[in-house]
Amino acid sequence: MMRRLLTTVSALSLAGLLAACGGSSSGGAPDTNSSSGGGASGSLTVGAAGFTESNVLAQMYADLLEKAGFTVNVKKVASQEIFQSALEKGTIAVVPEYAATYANSMETEVTGNTSPTSASPDLQKTLSNLEKFLKKKGLAHLDPANAVDQNAFAVSKSFASQHNLTTLSDLGKAGVSVTLAATPECPARPFCKPGLEKIYKIKIAKILPLGFDTLQVKQAVKTGKAQLGLVATTDATVSQFGLQVLTDDQHLQNADNLIPIVNAKALADHPQIAQAINPLASVLTTEDLANLNNQVDGQRKTVEDVAKAYLTSKGLL
């Protein structure tokens, strides 16, 4: 969520200055995966933000749209500013996004409010708020997935066993002081140190500024340099470090479910877009997403192969 938030803030400050992308990705990055589906439904471009998770989701959207008969191009856009502008103008038809993060960013862009409140741990409330701003930008959303990419907090399995921990509430009730390995911004982020202290009554004695879900964070918790580490719900490597994610049982984190954002005119012209992509929503889980990320980053499989194998295994291709 941290990396998405940083790119979104940058996008909001510059979006009005940039034109929509045309036939090539920003920064000289080449377009990928152009192919024909053999149908008469038209041509569509699916956008990807350039990091593994976004690339995998975009490729799955493309595969499903191809099956429906569209000619599909996946465009990896390094610049979030151009990415958003292209989506609003329709040069990109659909992109994978995160419900809560995107709801807040759209509120800021539409209203200028730099302290947005559209995001919520309640998915339906988040979607209701999001829809108000999407309409003003000529956008719509498809069905949100069960999969959610959120901040998570992990302890070593030995520490969890020692204090009988399965949830963040358990850690607060245990009354032990912990060192937290997280981002430098954690002391000011409501979903990090302030939230852990206010909602869960967790005693945080010190913060090690080691980043978000980095190797250094996981190593620090593994070796006992820190007792608690900021990771991601879609990190499939956490258990490999002997760590255990504590359940966010009081719902501190917002509902950052994966959600396709689509150009409203493209959807009106081609309702098959929704028919093609929506079946993925009820299938894709957080665990699935973590495994897909790991197949690309850890096992060095291609995005194309990982996406196709997953969709085939679920009977969607």
Q: How many CB atoms lie within 10 A of CB 240?
A: 12
Do both 14 and 122 map to the same domain?
Answer: yes
Domain final residue pick, 195, 222, 246 = 246
DSSP 55-75: HHHHHHHHHHHHHHT-EEEEE
Q: Which of 4, 8, 2, 16 lies closest to 105, judged by CA?
A: 8
Q: What integer pLDDT is reported at residue 83 of this predicted model? A: 82
> Of residues 11 and 218, which shows the higher confidence score?
218
Do both 268 and 126 map to the same domain?
Answer: yes
And the tokens for 244? 């255990």
For CA atoms 181, 294, 239, 245, give the dihedral sign.
Answer: positive
Do both 126 and 269 map to the same domain?
Answer: yes
Q: What are phi and psi of 293, to 5 degrees?
A: -60, -45
Domain span at residue 177? 151-246
- Mean pLDDT score of the chain: 88
The answer to whether the beta carbons of residues 167 and 245 sit under 8 Å apart is no
> Of residues 81 and 170, which shows the higher confidence score?
170
Task: Give the residue-averaged pLDDT of 258-286.
Answer: 97
Number of domains making up the chain: 2
Residue 296, pLDDT > 80, answer: yes
CATH number at 213 reads 3.40.190.120
| Max CA separation in the chain (angstroms) | 64
Do both 47 and 113 map to the same domain?
Answer: yes
Domain final residue pick, 246, 267, 294 = 246
pLDDT digits (tens, 9 = 90+) for 8-22: 443 343 333 333 333
Do both 11 and 114 map to the same domain?
Answer: yes
Do both 191 and 122 map to the same domain?
Answer: no
Do both 65 and 90 map to the same domain?
Answer: yes
- Residue 167 DSSP label: B
- Reported in sequence order, the residue ranges of 151-221 that DSSP labels E, i.e. its strands, are 151-156, 177-182, 203-209
Domain final residue pick, 222, 246, 270 = 246
Amino acid at 310: Y
Do both 228 and 275 map to the same domain?
Answer: no
And the tokens for 283? 């299938």
Of 41-50, 59-68, 128-137, 194-203, give the lowest mean pLDDT range.
41-50
The answer to whether the beta carbons of residues 95 and 49 sit under 8 Å apart is yes
Label residue 274 by pLDDT band (50, 70, 90).
Answer: very high
CATH number at 284 reads 3.40.190.10
Do both 195 and 169 map to the same domain?
Answer: yes
Measure the CA–CA gap between 265 and 196, rounded to whole angstroms: 42
Label residue 77 by pLDDT band (50, 70, 90).
Answer: confident
Do both 128 and 269 map to the same domain?
Answer: yes
